[in-house]
Structure 1
Amino acid sequence: MDPIFPPFEPDPAPPQRRFRPVPIRLLIPNMITLAALASGLTAVRFAIEGRFEAAAIAILAAAILDGIDGRIARMLKGTSRFGAELDSLADFVSFGCAPALILYFWKLHVLKTAGWLVCLLLAFAMALRLARFNVMIDGPERPAWQKAYAVGVPAPAGAMMVMLPLTLSLSGIPAFAGDSVMILLWTAVSTALIISRLPTFSGKGLGTPVPREWVLAILGGAVVILALAFSHPFETISALTLLYVGMIPVAIQRYRRREAQDRAVSPPDPAG
């Protein structure tokens, strides 16, 4: 006779999925990206406290960290989609939100609504630029020579360009009447260049081989720039930023010339 209440044995528990260990080489670039994010957020704190010299240095530190995290990731073969997304989010905070808030706390708050609106436009432009950059990653492969150019002003260079009035002021240039309006106009122009589709020089172009006879001159110039950066940081930052702005027309000219050369040598489209 069968028992009324037979013993019940539940199904065995499914095996738990174990996550694979993550190599340390994948963590190092992300840690550098988080350090850049921390530097950008700390710059906002310095601006709130009125310590604008420290805020400018913190943004510069974030730009330097942002410039090396991708290179270290490629060197360690630790690139990942997660790292690319994290880098974009960190860039938006450090080079979009932080510079906008620094400029607002420094001078643009005097203009009230107009000053705040241009800060919002700067943050919006940086977000849209980074979103466009992420879309272009999944797009068709570009020619090798185009990798030396960016579409619009890159995020770190854009942040330093926007903060040029602050670094010039910290260099000792005296303020003048109506300087808040000039800062607003400069911020608007920089925002337009950030979101534009103009070709500008990219940091990836630094991998271009140079003639051997130029090596010593380049190394000597780098040593001089580093020495000036330690002794006169804001003057050096301002000069390099102005040099970059002056090179934008050169980048546009070279890009269009090379594009015209490629169009001339490429075979005609039979469908056209």
Structure 2
Amino acid sequence: MNDFSDPPLEPAPELAVRPRRKGIYILPNLFTLAALFGGFYAVVMAMNGRFEQAAIGVFSAMVLDSLDGRVARMTNTQSTFGEQMDSLSDMVSFGAAPALIVYEWALQGLGKLGWIAAFVYCAGAALRLARFNTNIGVVDKRFFQGLPSPAAAAMVTGFIWVMDDMGYKGAEHIEWLTWTAFAFTLYAGLTMVTNVPFYSFKDVSFKRSVPFIVIVAIALGFAVISYHPPLVLFGVFIVYGLSGYVVYFIRKAKGKPVSVIAVSTDEPDEKGLHQ
């Protein structure tokens, strides 16, 4: 027997597999970027004194923001990147943009009170978005906790749009209009950070069949909006902006819980109500 036989061959080292780079889904993020552009466009228009175009930019961002999540779910392209991008876009379009627009339009005439009101709105939007992201798993999905930031932006910029349409191109020298804008800004900013429940419409299924009259009603709704968009849209969001307090006091009067935060998502009564 040969004592000097060759040592056994060592297995060849495995080739290192390069980790695959994470891609970005383009379709839903295109809607998010378009919404972000709407907010940026609104700020630029306000800086140039074109407040009607600024309001249209914010409302366009609202429509696009409502589509990006639905498109992601329909095409199965949800991602953490998309969620973070959506929050940052919302902060610009429905937080910073409305605050800057209303400040340029009316609040700068109030001095320190003006920019404080604008900051309260901006901070309220940031806090509301942060709370939404952290509480998403324990909030009853039928309701928003506090006024959603797009609706708050619609209240503030909708008021400006209506007044601009009536011929008030700037309000810094009109006392009653300045203080009305101040009140709207504070109301929207503070309502965003309350615990008041606002209906989310997330339990409305577009896959279910509906009576024919519903389609007729939707068509009539589009016709009414097209008749006078500033006034109709502003009226709709004013009603929505007050509806949360109506729901709050009705539930409180009936002895029902007014909080939309679940103590435990495992409870039978909470089944199916959370994301």
Q: TM (normalized to structure 1)? A: 0.79
Equivalent position of 1:68 in the other structure = 67
Distance in 2 (alpha carbons) for counterparts of 1:180 and 1:133: 31
Contact 1:107-1:180 at 8 Å conserved across structures: yes
Structure with bigger RCO (C-alpha 8 Å, 6+ apart): 2
2:223 equivalent to 1:222: no
Shifted more, 221-230 versus 31-40: the winner is 221-230
- Residue type of the partner of 1:245? G
Percentage of matched positions with identical amino acids: 33
- 8 A Cα contact 2:46 2:54, kept in partner: yes
**Alpha-carbon distance change, 245 to 211 in structure 1, aligned in 2, over 3 angstroms:** farther
Contact 2:142 2:203 in 1 (8 A): yes
**Structure 2 vs 1, CA of residues 260 and 21 (structure 1 numbering), >3 Å: closer, same or farther?**
closer
- Please give the secondary structure, in 1, of the residue aligned with 2:134: helix
Q: Give the aligned CA root-mean-square deviation in angstroms.
A: 3.0
**Higher normalized helix content (fraction of residues):** 1
TM-score, length-scaled by structure 2: 0.78
Q: Which residue of 1 aligns with 2:109?
A: 110
Deviation at 1:258, TM superposition (A): 9.6
How much has 1:210 moved relative to structure 2?
8.0
Give the number of equivalent residue pairs.
244
Q: Tell me, yes or no, if the aligned pair for 1:100 and 1:120 is still in contact at 8 Å.
A: yes
> Over residues 96-150 of structure 1, what are the superposed CA-to-partner deviations in whole Å (9 max), with x where a residue is unaligned?
000000001111111121111111111111111111111113x44x5xxx21100
Q: Distance in 2 between matches of 1:53 and 1:240?
A: 18
Secondary structure (helix, strand or coil) at the match of 2:202 reads helix
What is the deviation of 1:254? 6.6
Q: What residue ranges of structure 2 are gaps of 5+ in the alignment? A: 1-12, 269-275
Task: Kindly report which structure 2 residues correspond to 1:78-227, keeping only aligned pairs within 5 A, or say none.
Answer: 78-137=77-136, 139-140=137-138, 142=139, 146-172=140-166, 177-207=175-205, 212=210, 215-227=211-223
**1:33 maps to what in 2?**
32
Q: Deviations over 1:215-239 (max 9, x none)?
A: 3333222212222333421122112
Q: Relative to structure 2, which stretch is displaced further, 235-244 or 62-71?
A: 235-244
Q: Supply the AA of the counterpart residue of 1:152.
A: G
Deviations 1:37-73 (A, max 9, x none): 0110000000011111111011000001111111111
Q: State the alpha-carbon separation in 1 of the partners of residues 51 and 108 from structure 2.
A: 15
Judged with a 3 Å threshold, the aligned counterparts in structure 2 of structure 1 residues 206 and 252 are, in CA distance, closer, same or farther, namely: farther
Deviation string for 1:72-109 (max 9, x for gaps)?
Answer: 11111111111111111100000000000000111111
